[in-house]
Structure formats: C-alpha cells, structure tokens
Amino acid sequence: MALLCCICAISRGQTVYGVALKNIDGGNINLNSYQGSKLLILLAPVSAYDSVRFRKIKAFQVVHPSSQVKLLGVMSIEDGYADSNKTAIKSTYQHFGIDILLTEGLRTKKAAGSSQSPLFNWLTTKSENKLSATDALGIGQKFIIDETGKLYSVSIPAVPLLSQLVEQDLLRKLMPSNPL
C-alpha cells in the first residue's frame, strides 16, 4: 500500500486535475491522471492520536475503494500540522492501512491571505471554483471534485465521512450542461 505525501500548486483558472504535485521524495504526481474519477479532498487528521478519525477514513476506503473515489488528505497548518509531526503522521496512516495521498502542510484558511495555498485559494474562492466561497473550517471538511475537475460539493466537518449526504454527493452523476 503506497503512502504518498505531496505539495501542490495550481494556476488561476485551472481545474483541480491540472494541479502539479510533488511527493515527499520529490517525485512528480499529476492529478490530471485522475481525470474521469471523483476526488474527495479531506482536511485530514494531523495528530497521530486521532484514532477515531483514522478508523473512519479506513472505513470510507473500504466502502469507496480508490477505483471509485480518489482521496486527497490535506495537512492543514492552521489545524495543527507541523513538519516535526510528519514521520508520526505517515506512520499512523500506514498503521491503519490507509492508502491516501497526503499533502505537505498547507495554509488552508482565507485569513492566511497571500500565504493561503493555491489549492485552497481555488477551493474557497467562488470566482475560481464556480461553486462556493466557504472558508476552510477544520479537520473533517470535505470538498468533492467531479470527473471533469470541477468542485461540486462542500461538506462541513460535522458531516461524517460516511454520512448519507456525502454518499449522495459521491453517487451523483454528472448532469449535462445543456440537456437540449
């Protein structure tokens, strides 16, 4: 089971699948290869002691294997991520058998201003993502990207990962933009 850790950059106007990523070892990861798949971006647990959340992520992956939904776990600096925790966090994800693409520590909140990560600028700016202007609200927040790289659902942290709401959003099929 591979555990990948990455940093990301996104240009203005790109879909999320155009994001170029580097894993922790410096290798390139291209999210464009996920085009045609749904992507769930999760503000992921940053503490090795958060076993309940790790179990819920593992349960999600059992119900939704990576062949159905790609999972990107974001390590939010505002939610407690620190580089000094990196080894412990990676070990914890591996211990729970979670196969997830993890980001390096990112500034996720709008209050970070120009230091907000480009990915989260896109996810939290309606003029960029064409759907939502919500801020990053904390660990457990979910952003669902459709098969074409467009944001189509945002769930607050209180909505469980395996909730009926998230399930409905994941099962939602693409609607034609012009049914005529």
Query: What are the sequence ranges of the domains in the chain?
Result: 38-171
In terms of Cα–Cα distance, which of 11, 6, 125, 21 is closest to 74?
6
What would the pLDDT profile of 95-111 be if each residue is shown by its tens digit? 999 988 888 888 999 99
Q: How far, in Å, CA of 56 to CA of 176, rounded?
A: 33
pTM across the whole model: 0.85
What is the percentage of the chain residues whose pLDDT exceeds 70? 81
- The DSSP output letter for 113 is G
CATH topology of domain 38-171: Glutaredoxin (3.40.30)
